[in-house]
Structure formats: C-alpha cells, structure tokens
Structure 1
Amino acid sequence: MRDSVFNCCFNPPHPPGAVEETHWHSNRAQALPQNDRRFLIFFDFDETLVDECSDDAMVTVAPGGSLPSWLKDTYRPGRYNEYMQRVLAYLAEQGVTPSNVRNTIERLPPCPGIPALLRFLMSCPPQDFEVICVSDANTVFIETWLQSLGFRSLFMRIFTNPAHFDENGQLQLRPFHSHNCLRCPVNMCKAEIVRRYTAQRVHEREGRRYQRVLYVGDGANDFCPSLTLAPDDVAFPRRDFPMHRLIQEMHEAKPGEFKANVVPWSNGEDIINKLRKVIEERA
C-alpha cells in the first residue's frame, strides 16, 4: 500500500500500560543522563544515519547474494521483525558467522554529511544536546556501526529491537515491545517511545521541559513520532523520502494539523545549519 497520511501511524493516546517494560531501560550509555541538557534530539538509523537498510545488507552475505523465494514469501505486512528472525536463522544455517555479520554492518556507508553532524554534536557543550537513537533495526547492528565509527558515546539511549549472538553464532532477534497502535509494525511504535521517554526524562528533570525536541528520520515510521512534536520543536525529514512526503501530504490535506517546524535535509550539513540557529536562538 502506498504511504499515506491516512494509513500511517497517527493514533490516539494509548491507555496506561500499553508498552511493555521489558526493554525500556536497556542499551544505556555509560554516563547517567545530565538533567541540564537544553535540547533532546532523536535519530532514526536505517537511511538516516546509514545510507541503506541494514537488514537488506544482510542479504548480500546469503549464498548467491539473494534469499530463496520460499523464504521471501513468508513476509507478512506489519510483521517484518518476525520475517527478519527467519532470515537470520537461514543465514546462520548457511554458515554466515558473527564476523560476517559485523563486517557487513561496519561497511555500511553513512548518509551524506552524517559523520560531520555527529562530530558537531560531540563538539557542542555537554549541556546542549541529549542524543537518542530510535530504530526498528537491532542492538547488534546499531552498536556495531556506531562503535566502528567512534560515535557510540554520543548516544545516551538506543531504543531498538534486542539482539544477540547465541552459542551457535546465530543472531537472535526479538521485538522491542508491544503496543496499541494498529497502523505500526507489531514490534515497534516510535511515537510511543518518543512520548514515553520524553515524559520520563521531564519527570527525572523535576518537571523541567527541554527547550526543543528534535527528530531526524526518513521513513513512514518516522512520520508517526513527528506527530508528537510541539510547535517549537523541529522535524527533520530526509528530503523526498516517505517521512517528507507524508508531512507534505498532511499539510495539504489537513492544514495546521502538523505542529512542528519542518526542515528537510539531503545532507547532514543542512541539519547542522539549523542546529546552529537553534543554539543561538535559545542561548
């Protein structure tokens, strides 16, 4: 189905307890959060930090560089996480090792200008940005890639599907959580993650809100959390990707409904330029 404002992830607030706690506090950086951070910025991973889909990259290590038809035919809409579990099991059966997996992920190219953007964030005063990753990839892929480029310490939290290599060398993948959003994949609603994490941090900050919340993404599942942003916040959709098209469609279909400022990006430098202005405006 074509991406559309009306079939994406816009949903009413969830009742209490809609998100399971299982993986909520996992994947923390070494340092505890600093409660004086001025801005909260979320990043997607696939096609936002890396310039392709990390799951698709795994196909390149399959025999012949492709998956058998019987396996591809098991995919069901909204259940990609379950499909990827079967793909990873197949790859392990075909002799793909943890080293093969890590080497493939380490070779993923960053999106244009993203290394410069992450270096910019690392160079900012510590009270400026609290940096979070929220992705439908998995812990092994994201941790491996960030560590290989030296950016892991920048991210205070990584919210993604938990994964680990078992004793047989197979990458075991599990869903991040369950939720009540009927239009999101069953394993992850990013809007729920953004809402809940932001509320949790404001509570930890004794009610003090961030000056701005910012969200950088590309896909249809990044449109969903961008709807949670307030008028002073900033959505950074990758130009001409689904998130950008869905925002444009909402502007046309429901003027005024999308609240956040919108800054499309093609290069990380576009984001840096806006962040410099945000810092100066709120100094």
Structure 2
Amino acid sequence: MSNRSLIDTDSDRFVIEYLSPVLRQKLNTSPMQWTDLQNECLKEYHEQGGTGDKIRESLKKIPLDSKMIQVCQLLYSKGWVLAIVSDANQVYIEGILEHYGIRNLFSAIITNPAFWDVQGRLHIQRLIPADGIPHGCPSGVCSLNICKGQEVDKLLLRLGNDSQAGGAVESFGHAGVPIRMLYVGDGRNDYCPALRTKSPQDIYFVRKGRSLEKYLNMADAPEIRRAIRARIVYWDKAGEILSELQSTL
C-alpha cells in the first residue's frame, strides 16, 4: 500500500497505537527490524490478554479517502488490473480492503505474510526471512524484507509482459497494448519500482511531504530524479489523483 499511499495513515502504527499506548512507545524506541518489531508487539499484546477482535476492529477505523476508492473503481472499470505491493502485511491489507468493499478490485497483494494461530494470536513474518537470500537490490533504498521493484518485475512476468501497470494502486491492463505503469507511492522504498517505468506515458504519483518526495528532490543528487522515465505527479489528496486520471485515461 505504501501505507500512506492508498490509505491516509501508517497501518502498522495505527493498529499498535489503537491496541496499546505502552506498545506505541516501543515502536519509537526499539532497534528491532520493523516487521520483527510489529510481530513482537503483537506477541506482547496477546500475552497481556489482547484479542484478535480488537485488532480486526482497529482495521475498520483506518481512514481511506472515498476519492481513492473512486480511483480504484475507475481503473478497474477501464480494464486495468490492480495490485498492491506493500511493506505492511496480508491480514491488515485484506481487512482494510474488505471493510471498504473493494477487495475484489485487486488481483494481487504482495506483502509480508501474516496469520492467526489456534490461540488467536496474530503473527507477522518478513516476506524475505532474516535467514533468506538477500534481495541484493542496487538502489540502496529498499527494506531488508522486501524489494518492491523486484516484486513488480515478478508480477509483470506473471502477467505475460503484455500488460499495463501501476502501484499502491498498481495496475496492469489490456493485452495487445503497450505496457503502461501507474504507481502511487510515498516512501523511499517506492523509488525502486519507479525505475521500471518506460516512458512519460507512465505516471508516478508521489505523495507530498513524505520521504519519497524528499528523496527525489535532494539537491545534491539530481540523477535520482532523472532516472525516472515516468511523468511525476505530486499529490496530497486522493481527489488530485482522481482528477488526473479522469483527464488522461
């Protein structure tokens, strides 16, 4: 999703803060790898008597702009295939999409695995395990547990390389037309997927005020932005994406 791309908050932080003010402090102080830290917080929450129902309840509280829902519906109606590539987790993403009634619009969700055990505890795992083969991405901005660019490569390969594509709204379309990509992102790890764009026909939607915008516009590294072949559109509210797509698709 990138968390602040499809939704208007960081789902990882939102859930933990909703569950426990004490665990919220742990998010700001622990040196653990982020996905491992999420799993540890949920472990402690369960040990303290926390319930899965409250976790599921928290997912229904996460804000999703109605205009972003319209973006997804518009793309789907025009034959694009929507996918999510996210450093959140499967349970959170599925829960949010199902709550807003748009899970059926997405053909793929690529993220960290998550599951409920028989005791009702939620477990979150890294997509690339700590003892797994490192992804080795040369971009230098990807998380240890996921390279979104490589995941987009795999997705395009599965779709036969004859599709259109896009990002936290990630979209792939009609066979027989040139590949296009629409990618919506906000974090530095959303830079790598944009290196897969091919031309100004692609659109890279970059959320204002987030780390991705700052990374693209570092004064001492103009080559970072020049490496992006897509047309870059900066946005703040989902309505801006909707207006752009209504005028260009």
* TM-score with structure 2 setting the length: 0.82
Structure 1 segment 81-230 matched on structure 2, within 5 A: 81-111=35-65, 113-122=67-76, 124-125=77-78, 128-177=79-128, 178-181=134-137, 183=140, 184-203=142-161, 210-230=178-198
The corresponding residue for 1:56 is: 13
Q: Specify whether residues 157 and 90 from structure 1 end up closer, same or farther in structure 2 by C-alpha distance, changes over 3 A only.
A: same
Q: Which runs of 4+ in 1 moved over 6 A?
A: 68-71
Work out the percentage of aligned pairs sharing the same amino acid.
Answer: 27
Comparing 173-182 with 98-107, which one deviates more in the overlay?
Answer: 173-182
Report the AA paired with residue 235 of structure 1.
Answer: Y
Q: Counterparts of 2:194 and 2:180 in 1: how far apart (Å)? A: 13
1:88 Cα deviation from its structure 2 partner:
1.2
Q: For 1:262, which of 218, 222, 232 is the aligned residue?
A: 232
Deviations 1:226-254 (A, max 9, x none): 12211231100112212222222379622
Instruction: Give 1:118 deviation, angstroms.
Output: 2.6
Counterparts of 2:72 and 2:220 in 1: how far apart (Å)?
30
3-state DSSP class of the match of 1:48?
Answer: helix
Secondary structure in 1 matching 2:87: strand
Give the corresponding residue for 2:215. Answer: 246
2:23 counterpart SS class: coil
Deviates further, 177-186 or 232-241? 177-186
RMSD: 2.5
**Cα displacement string for residues 188-216 of structure 1 (whole angstroms, at most 9, x for unaligned residues):** 110111122113313587x9564411101
Change (3 A) 1:129 1:203: closer
**Contact 2:42–2:121 (CA under 8 A) maintained in structure 1:** yes
Listed one character per residue, the Cα deviations across residues 68-117 of structure 1 (whole Å, up to 9, x for unaligned) are: 867864424xx211121111111111122111001001110114732232
Letter in 2 for 1:189: C
> Which secondary structure does the structure 1 equivalent of 2:96 belong to?
helix
Distance change in 2, residues 1:171/1:155 (3 Å): same
- Unaligned runs of 5+ residues in structure 1 are 1-43
The structure-2 alpha-carbon separation of the partners of 1:251 and 1:151, relative to structure 1 and needing over 3 Å to count, comes to farther
User: Shift of residue 223 of structure 1?
Assistant: 1.6
Q: Deviations over 1:147-168 (max 9, x none)?
A: 0110000001000111011011
TM-score by length of 1: 0.73
Compare the two structures and name the one with the higher helix fraction: 2
Deviation per CA, 1:11-46: give whole Å up to 9, x if none. xxxxxxxxxxxxxxxxxxxxxxxxxxxxxxxxx241
CA distance in 1, matches of 2:229, 2:110: 24
User: What do the CA deviations read for 1:31-67 (whole angstroms, capped 9, x no partner)?
Assistant: xxxxxxxxxxxxx24111221111111222444x222
Contact 2:13 2:24 in 1 (8 A): no
Gaps of 5+ in 2: 129-133, 164-174
